[in-house]
Chain A
């Protein structure tokens, strides 16, 4: 495309998404970055302007203090660590649950597939907050889950599920698994059936064929789905806040608290910026990995 000249119409077509990205992505990111270099002030908005007029001359006031503090604060580090761990666990469980789910949909007769995909995304038709509250009701000490466990004789007294790391993981997996299933299904559904037939014909038993053909060819979907789950899961703060306990303070919650409770915008912006930087790097690595898996073909 280097040498191709765009016509006026093509330029217009390109400028619309480009403008959208500029206004809705680039601008907010720049604003956050600007905030991260600012200083707290007791006013509205609670920040000193970056550009000030001092002695008749405009001067720019930037400080690295917030970023340095955010990067070195052990509380932030541990919160970020637990958020990463939680996101990793969520992603792993989403893969373990979502892959067979997507595979089953892809293998279903064509007419049934649409129904199953619909069922997989059906929870999105209800507010996310409502569904989280529903889970709180389900897993509380006197909720249906504990009733069932008691009735089945699995436990003798109600197990405290709500307000635990396990509850966070449970609701996270519930909320995020559709984001894994959809890209996974899209890839598995397009996997040519004759490749599996060829594998069987060449003497591969079903599991060998899965390991050597299906799995490697569905890796792009697996990676795409994992990224879609992992990245938002790191910043998730509502679920840990609602169903977790103090052990489950995560970076998303801290970000929220710094912004809304402490009104320390520069600190919140610094955390947000560091988080973004820490997530973009592994994402780029994944993309590179994906491209190399695809061989010479465009990913």
Chain B
């Protein structure tokens, strides 16, 4: 997406005292079911971090524990260097944007935004100027007197965001903020959120199950699974170097060749898959023969052609399905042994994808630098 942020690398220093948020050894159990297992995480001041995971992975619980809406069974939460583990939500310098937005239905837009300032007894004159600032920042001028039910979904979301930002929190927590928006609005708001985060410089922690959202907005992504953070790093690192099969499958699409290392020479390892397919992988020599592993190849690294291609890994197959997405066509290709590979073919003018049809016999292949070897 257009808002990729990899050009602004996160500070290298990981000093928990200066950090925006430092989560250390947090565990949580609901009705004897562990939801978080010894989670530790550091979010830099001014960083935009995404907690990415499927439903039930514990990402929302972690966010609620940071906000103080849920208490951890074990572990500590530091915000701006001070321990807030025992502090109630109304004493923490964080604000949360709820998935439902949780706007007060009986208050006008301006009163909703002002609520947090009144609750903490900010002087009247300052309240007025800060509400004005928030209305402008979120482009809500002229809507101040409306009630939440007179707003569109996008406007409601902006009010929810303004209500948080007006408090000038040390950390802004966002729980699936785009879930209730339709797609066009979602893209627009994603860009808007990134712009606002840059402008105000607040630390953002975003919870999402949408990998595109996490990839396009966040400086770093923490991928969660079954109550643990399984990988944490910049979007490109997560995508190009997934630490495990789970991350590889969860972030983007991938073809997995499960098998064992059978040998190798000249820095090229040979892996034989369970169905007897040979896969040659460069720079995988560190794995000894017999190691169980998976060679993982992203669909866009696959080349599809009617003629022989001459790549290190090349197989004959039949096109079984074509899904046209406009920018790319996703082709499902069945190999002789029954394995189905997914290839993403970019739809350039006059490209091969246009000529492909279901039932075509094709060659599909990839270079020996394309696969990753995953052992976890």
Report which A residues bind B (CB closer than 8 A).
Answer: 192, 194-195, 197-205, 208-209, 212-213, 216-217, 293, 295-297
* In the complex, the 7 A-B pairs of residues with the closest C-beta atoms, listed nearest first: A202-B116, A198-B102, A204-B119, A203-B120, A194-B102, A200-B89, A203-B119
| Cα–Cα, bound, A213→B147 (Å) | 15
| B250 touches A (CB below 8 Å) | no
List, in ascending order, chain B residues with CB within 8 A of A212's CB.
115, 118-119
Contact status of A217 and B105, CB under 8 A, knowing A200-B88, A202-B95: yes
| B149 touches A (CB below 8 Å) | yes
By the criterion CB–CB under 8 Å, are B105 and A204 in contact? no
List, in ascending order, chain B residues with CB within 8 A of A201's CB.
67-69, 89-90, 94-96
List, in ascending order, chain A residues with CB within 8 A of B315's CB.
none
Q: Residue on B with the closest CB to A293? A: B106
List, in ascending order, chain A residues with CB within 8 A of B158's CB.
none
| B167 touches A (CB below 8 Å) | yes
By the criterion CB–CB under 8 Å, are B105 and A295 in contact? yes
By the criterion CB–CB under 8 Å, are B106 and A295 in contact? yes
List, in ascending order, chain B residues with CB within 8 A of A192's CB.
100, 102
* Contact pattern, B 86-118, Cβ under 8 Å of A = 1, otherwise 0: 001110001110101011111000000001101
By the criterion CB–CB under 8 Å, are B116 and A197 in contact? no
Q: Nearest chain A CB to B296's CB is how many angstroms away?
A: 40
List, in ascending order, chain A residues with CB within 8 A of B104's CB.
195, 198-199, 213
By the criterion CB–CB under 8 Å, are A297 and B120 in contact? no
Q: Residue on A with the closest CB to B88? A: A200
Report which B residues bind A (CB closer than 8 A).
Answer: 67-69, 88-90, 94-96, 98, 100, 102-106, 115-116, 118-120, 147, 149-150, 163-164, 167
By the criterion CB–CB under 8 Å, are B90 and A203 in contact? yes
| Cα–Cα, bound, A209→B90 (Å) | 10
Instruction: Among B67, B98, B119, point to the contact of A208 (Cβ < 8 A).
Output: B119
Q: Nearest chain B CB to A214's CB is how many angstroms away?
A: 11
| Cα–Cα, bound, A204→B120 (Å) | 7
| Interface CB pairs A-B, < 8 A, 30 | A194-B100, A197-B89, A197-B96, A197-B98, A197-B102, A198-B98, A198-B102, A199-B115, A200-B68, A200-B88, A200-B89, A201-B94, A201-B95, A201-B96, A202-B90, A202-B163, A202-B167, A203-B116, A203-B120, A205-B90, A209-B119, A212-B115, A213-B104, A293-B106, A295-B149, A296-B147, A296-B149, A296-B150, A297-B105, A297-B149
List, in ascending order, chain A residues with CB within 8 A of B167's CB.
202-203
Among A199, A216, A293, find the residue whose CB has the most chain B CB atoms closer than 10 A. Answer: A199
By the criterion CB–CB under 8 Å, are B115 and A202 in contact? yes
Among A192, A199, A202, A209, find the residue whose CB has the most chain B CB atoms closer than 10 A. Answer: A202
List, in ascending order, chain B residues with CB within 8 A of A209's CB.
119
List, in ascending order, chain A residues with CB within 8 A of B88's CB.
200
| Cα–Cα, bound, A151→B351 (Å) | 99
Q: Residue on B with the closest CB to A208? A: B119
| Cα–Cα, bound, A201→B116 (Å) | 8
| Cα–Cα, bound, A284→B195 (Å) | 51
| Cα–Cα, bound, A274→B26 (Å) | 68
Q: A200-B69, A203-B119 are in contact. List 16 more A-B contacts (CB 8 A).
A: A194-B98, A198-B98, A200-B68, A201-B90, A201-B95, A201-B96, A202-B115, A202-B119, A202-B163, A202-B167, A203-B116, A205-B119, A212-B118, A216-B106, A217-B106, A295-B149
